[in-house]
Amino acid sequence: MSAAGEIRALTPPDILARKGGTPLVCLTAYTTPMARMMDRHCDVILVGDSVGMVLHGLPSTLGVTLDMMIMHGKAVRRGIERALMVVDMPFGSYEESPEQAFRNAARLVAETGCAAVKLEGGESMAATIRFLVARGIPVMAHVGLTPQAVNAFGGYKVQGRGADAERILRDAAATAEAGAFSVVLEKVPDALAAEITRKIQIPTIGIGASAACDGQVLVVDDMLGMFTSFRPKFVKRYAELGDAADAAIAAYAGDVRDRRFPAAEHLFGDQPKPRASGGSR
């Protein structure tokens, strides 16, 4: 806390300084209530473009727009005091040129109040990362399985096996050299993620990577078990809220159809009940 007792928000340099230290805790958030619950537990809260699949029912992240990211970013910002807030740059908003990336990243920062943006790509995005950082926009990088390139990969496949490992290592190193303050490693072999973590000077944040990474990130709805049928190997489910919600909705529907709800305690009479007099205690 500051001298005035206010909570000091974490910054990109704070995250960078955690390299090799206590692992960084990161989750996605898309709404104010969820961000508020996470804030005291997480170091980084990511407004991920996974919102397109999680909340909007899209088949992939490719249909997510800048306006969608700004809307959810504003909502998450209202729930955060301490954690570092990072917003994903959606597909098509940064790949054309560093100048395009800056225009859209500047809009994300200005309109959401986020502290940093995240973009996908390694060597191919190094010049863009360098351009943004030089102009005051901190960047979290993302290599390995990059969901916005799912069509090029032919699906959500593990990246970096065998001879392909060198490509992922080069990508991660390129983002660090370009000035990213951290890099997400998604769906890469354990040993490769550990090697990258040893070799580069910025924190690695794993998702389907390695416990040796400098931190971990998950999509919160996956971690909470909100989806009863979606069970990726790299997700540990810390709750089964989807099953609990389904049971609660079914119970409500049954009570309504059988006229058990609303009951007398949920209804209002013609006259308010008199308050009990307050005697001495």
Q: Kindly indicate the confidence band of residue 277, based on its pLDDT and cuts at 50, 70 and 90.
A: low
Helix (H) or strand (E) run with residue 35 in it: helix 32-38
pLDDT digits (tens, 9 = 90+) for 164-214: 999 999 999 999 999 999 999 999 999 999 999 999 999 999 999 999 999
Active centre residues (catalytic): 186
Please give the C-alpha separations between residue 151 and each of 34, 46, 56, 61, 192, in angstroms, as whole numbers.
Answer: 31, 24, 20, 11, 23
120 in a labelled binding site: yes
Is 118 labelled a binding residue? yes
Domains in the chain (CATH in brackets) are: 12-223 (3.20.20.60)
Q: Is the pLDDT of residue 279 over 60?
A: no
For 236-245, the pLDDT digits (tens) are: 999 999 999 9
Residue 142 pLDDT > 70, yes or no?
yes
Q: Is 95 annotated as a binding residue?
A: no
Q: Are 58 and 50 in contact (CB under 8 A)?
A: no
pLDDT above 50 for 262: yes
Quick one: pLDDT band at residue 281, thresholds 50, 70, 90? very low
